Amino acid sequence: MDKIRLDRILSDLKHGDLIDTSLTELECIEIIERNKELEGALRGVYGIIDDSTGVEGYHLNGAIAEWDECPEVQEAYDVLPPAEDKEEVCTCEYWEGANIKGKCTECGKKIKEV
């Protein structure tokens, strides 16, 4: 399948249009494989986000832009939620709030949903 056709199909899917029913089995497999590659890449970005606090050099004043300031990060989480892990749950009596990753800003543990 040529890249232009694959890009068009993926664009149609992103915008909620119906899938081209003339796809061959091989084309469907190529789309599935590409989806797996994209998911792996995005999970790699999640790893960077988990290991850091934000982006240095983003703000002109020199302040670090924390990840929860970036709407693109939340959009990514909306498209592909992070894998559930077996993290410890926050037990802070007075936690200050959750960051974009749903972790306590005081202890860094996952916030238990109420």
**What is the rounded radius of gyration, in angstroms, for the C-alpha atoms of the chain?**
19
Question: How confident is the prediction along the chain (114 residues), in pLDDT tens digits per residue?
Answer: 566 666 777 666 665 555 556 777 788 788 888 888 999 999 899 989 988 999 999 999 999 999 999 999 999 988 888 776 555 666 666 555 555 566 766 666 666 654
How far apart are the C-alpha atoms of 99 and 69, rounded to whole Å? 10
Extents of the domains making up the chain: 3-79, 84-114
Instruction: Using DSSP, state whether 106 is helix, strand or coil.
Output: coil
Pull the structure tokens for residue 11.
């664009």
Q: pTM for the full model? A: 0.54
Q: What is the 3-state secondary structure (H, E, C) of 66-81?
A: EHHHCHHHHHHHHHCC
